[in-house]
Amino acid sequence: MATPDTFRDIARYYDPIMSHVNYERWYFIATALARLLPPEFVHLDAACGTGNLTKRLRKIGWNSMGVDLSEAMLRAGQKGAVHPVTAVADLRALPFRGGVHYVTCLFDSLNFILTVEEMRAAIHEFGAALKDGGVLYFDTVTERMITQHFHGQRWTEKNGRFSTTWSSHYDRATSTAETHIQVDRGPGCIVRERVFSTQELMAALADAGFTLLGQFDAETWRPPGRRTTRVEYVATKGATPHASRRFLEAKREIQGWLPA
Ligand SMILES: C[S@@+](CC[C@H](N)C(=O)[O-])C[C@H]1O[C@@H](n2cnc3c(N)ncnc32)[C@H](O)[C@@H]1O
Rounded to whole angstroms, the Cα distance separating 14 from 7 reads 9
3 state SS of 89? coil
Mean pLDDT, range 4-10, rounded to an integer = 90
Q: What is the per-residue pLDDT for 2?
A: 64
Q: Would you say the CB of residue 29 lies under 6 angstroms from ligand 1? A: no
Q: What is the CA(242)–ligand 1 centre distance, in A? A: 32
Q: Would you say the CB of residue 110 lies under 6 angstroms from ligand 1? A: no
Q: What is the per-residue pLDDT for 13?
A: 95
Mean pLDDT, range 137-158, rounded to an integer = 94
Domain boundaries of the chain, sorted by first residue: 11-142+197-257
H or E, element range at 228: none
Q: Would you say the CB of residue 70 lies under 6 angstroms from ligand 1? A: yes
The bridge status of strand 176-183 relative to strand 162-171 is antiparallel
CATH class of 11-142+197-257: alpha beta
Q: What is the per-residue pLDDT for 51?
A: 96
How does pLDDT run across 57-110, given as a tens digit for each residue? 999 999 999 999 999 999 999 987 777 899 999 999 999 999 999 999 999 999
Which is higher by pLDDT, 7 or 82? Answer: 7
% of the chain surpassing 70 pLDDT: 99
Q: Would you say the CB of residue 68 lies under 6 angstroms from ligand 1? A: yes
Q: What is the DSSP code (8-state) at residue 69?
A: S
Answer yes or no: is pLDDT of 198 > 80. yes
Answer yes or no: is pLDDT of 165 > 90. yes
- Would you give the distance in Å from CA 19 to the centre of its chain? 17
Q: Would you say the CB of residue 107 lies under 6 angstroms from ligand 1? A: yes
- Of 4, 225, 228, 8, the C-alpha closest to 114 is 4
Mean pLDDT, range 19-30, rounded to an integer = 97
Task: Please state, as a whole number, how many other Cβ atoms lie within 10 Å of the Cβ of residue 20.
Answer: 8
Q: What is the CA(10)–ligand 1 centre distance, in A? A: 13
pTM flag (> 0.85): yes
Residue 50 CA: which ligand 1 atom is closest? 9
Residue 6 CA: which ligand 1 atom is closest? 25
Q: What is the per-residue pLDDT for 84?
A: 82
Answer yes or no: is pLDDT of 1 > 70. no
- Of 184, 194, 121, the C-alpha closest to 157 is 184
Q: What is the CA(193)–ligand 1 centre distance, in A? A: 11
Rounded to whole angstroms, the Cα distance separating 231 from 42 reads 25
